[in-house]
Chains A and B, each alone.
Chain A
Amino acid sequence: MSNPIATPPQTLAQKLIARASGLEHPRPGEFVTCRVDLAMCHDSGGPRRLKPMLAELGAPIWDRNRVVLVIDHYVPAEDEDARRIVRIARDWAREQALPHVYDSVGISHVVLPQCGHIRPGMLCVGGDSHASTAGAFGAYMLGVGSTEMVGVLVSGEIWVQVPQTVFMRWSGRLALGVSAKDMMLAMIGRFGVNVGHDHAIEYCGEAVSALSMNERMTLTNMSAELGAQVGLIAPDDETRTWLWQAGERDIELDWRSDEDAPGVRHNFDASTLAPQIALPHSPALARDVADIEPTAIQVAYIGGCTGAKLDDLRAAARVLAGYRIDPGVRLLVAPASTHERDVAEREGILRHLQESGASILAPSCGLCAGHGDGIPEDSTVISSIARNGKGRLGADSARVFLASPYTVAASALRGRITDPREVLWDGDVEVVH
């Protein structure tokens, strides 16, 4: 670690890179080489693409204990092609004797911290844009493509351009029915989809501190939609408690930006934030749900790494428990992991969702990776997933709106896009627990 007296004030991003690069004071803009603490691959960008390239190089994996394989994209296999991809992944895991393999138990970004692979202070790479999710735990996790992953697997290193930090400071507290997804859509609506890879986003302020780890993961996950290199949140007691339950011990909490660290600062008030919705076909087309034209929907989808964590399922159940969804709507719920699904089952949440008319799908990337044919052409869809570019859910002509699980559930209930505050009230908390 660098000597705090000898170095100028640094951001959390700089400190994480300093540790991984061995440089005392990495300067924003500078290209540095970092040692990788953990590399995550999944079945889509992973073995089927890595194996031939590694064979071509004839080089071994630098440290298999630092490699995690998650099979989450092509499961459950819908056809022979998917079965082939999954088979390659499983065979490769055996050939390489990988010690950390998670097969069909959920989406990597949620499984990784749940299974104790992410700790504050780490520098990781993941073969997926939403790898930035790990930033919720104070870890620097860079998304990479397959060729770059091969580079990491044979060298244990990655180049990083030291980012400038944008501090998104949220004061106040979120109102009932307003969640991290609304904060995120509001920020993307304001700053667009590409703040640039030369930027790290750090979320801070009392409203961020008050968020559960699941909700914090929504912010760091969708830092990908802001176009940032990473999204970070300084770890605190909430982080430690969550990681403790995931089996992690010896959590270092002193990973934070110095008081006067350089960066751009933006301030937001959580208490005045209204539920947000992003119009087709970009997360940047965000506005207040209350401000949009009446819009009938045919599909409501709660799923993906950002939109179907336990707290997202709880939010949906809070809206739907005891009610039936509109008969014109198909509500699809794909929990982010088997863990989320099992806890939701124990809490009675899954039953509430099913009784309201939801179909529960397998915990995997599923529709959000363009798999399956759940989304009809020309349909209007509202979803808690992270992005809504044309064709994201498999149907090019589908119009996909992005919103929080509260808003998705409220819209399923009414058959049209609905501000969840119209159907929620303070007194119904006990319904779901």
Chain B
Amino acid sequence: MDKTVVGSGLLQRGRRAVTTGVASHRVWRLPADVDTDALAPGRWMKYGAEVIARHCLESLRPQFALQARPGDVIVAGANFGIGSSREQAASALVHLGIVAVVAPSYGGLFYRNAFNVGLPLLTCRDAEAIADGETVSFDLERGIVRCVADTSGQELAGPLFSCEPIPPFLLAMVRAGGLLPQLKRRLHGPLGDAAGR
């Protein structure tokens, strides 16, 4: 796992001190308008997620699928995931271990699909200020993303970016691991795990 714990001194620059260590994540920086054909190319759609994942983003970043490591995040320009309803666009990222996407806006179907498969999306107007290879931390509840290390790995008291709030029922879904585990619990588990709406 490529997760490093960042010293709490750095994180105290936020509004409120963070007492526990926060996982940090290497950034894959992508342009605007990355569509579902780039994430899950049509000609690989007949195969399972593991095969599709190998071709994820190959037309834009041929080395992405080979080099992405569990814990990495994607930071992209506007309109990330526009196009098709194929949720493999999101599940290919999950398969490669991507733990979140940060972008100014998303394709509407991709937005639904990502939360359904347990991939949280942070909507951040200033996402494009984050550079490829930087390291960030994020907080879904508070809706913040922070640069914690530069491209050479040097700790950075980087800027803090605020994101649009994630609707509570989607946050609950992603905490449950996606819609399927949530449905399973609702159908078979103890009473009361409503979607939060």
Contacts and interface: CB of A to CB of B under 8 A. Distances in A.
A394 B108 contact: no
A49 to B, nearest CB: 8
Given A145-B116, A390-B37, A392-B37, A154 B187 contact: yes
A147 interface: yes
B75 to A, nearest CB: 17
Contact of B85 (A74, A81, A127): A127
A144 B109 contact: yes
Given A129-B85, A129-B109, A145-B109, A57 B180 contact: yes
Interface in B100-155: 105-109, 111-113, 116-117
Interface residues of A, number: 49
Contacts of B108: 196-197, 227-229
Contacts of A369: 42, 45
A74 B46 contact: yes
Given A33-B197, A58-B188, A194-B79, A390 B38 contact: yes
Nearest to A126: B85
Contacts of A392: 37, 42
A404 B153 CA distance: 51
Contact of B83 (A146, A154, A387): A387
Interface string B85-110: 11100100000000000000111110
A31 B197 contact: yes
A74 B43 CA distance: 11
Contacts of A57: 180, 183-184, 187
B41 interface: yes
Contact of A31 (B58, B78, B169): B169
Contact of B59 (A192, A282, A391): A391
A57 B179 CA distance: 11
Contacts of B112: 144-145, 148, 197
Which range contains the number of B residues in contact with the other chain? 35 or more
A370 B42 contact: yes
Nearest to A131: B85
B71 interface: no
A148 B116 contact: yes
Contact of B179 (A151, A387, A389): A151
Interface string B25-37: 0000000010101
A143 B46 CA distance: 20
B163 interface: no
Identify which of B45, B105, B106, B187 gathers the most chain A CB atoms within 10 Å of its CB. Answer: B45
Contact of A129 (B45, B83, B188): B83
A143 B85 contact: yes
Contacts of A227: 79, 82, 107-108
B84 interface: yes
A194 B58 CA distance: 23
A384 B37 CA distance: 18
Nearest to B81: A194
A131 B112 CA distance: 15
Interface in A367-390: 369-371, 387, 389-390
A344 interface: no
A1 B41 CA distance: 44
B105 A194 contact: yes
24 contacts: A31-B167, A33-B197, A57-B183, A81-B46, A85-B46, A143-B109, A145-B86, A147-B87, A147-B116, A147-B178, A147-B179, A147-B180, A150-B179, A150-B183, A159-B195, A193-B79, A197-B112, A227-B108, A284-B33, A370-B41, A371-B43, A389-B38, A390-B37, A391-B38
Given A85-B46, A147-B179, A390-B60, 10 more contacts: A33-B197, A57-B187, A74-B46, A129-B84, A143-B85, A148-B87, A193-B33, A194-B105, A197-B109, A391-B41
Return the 4 tightest CB-CB contacts between A and B, nearest first. A370-B42, A197-B108, A145-B87, A145-B113
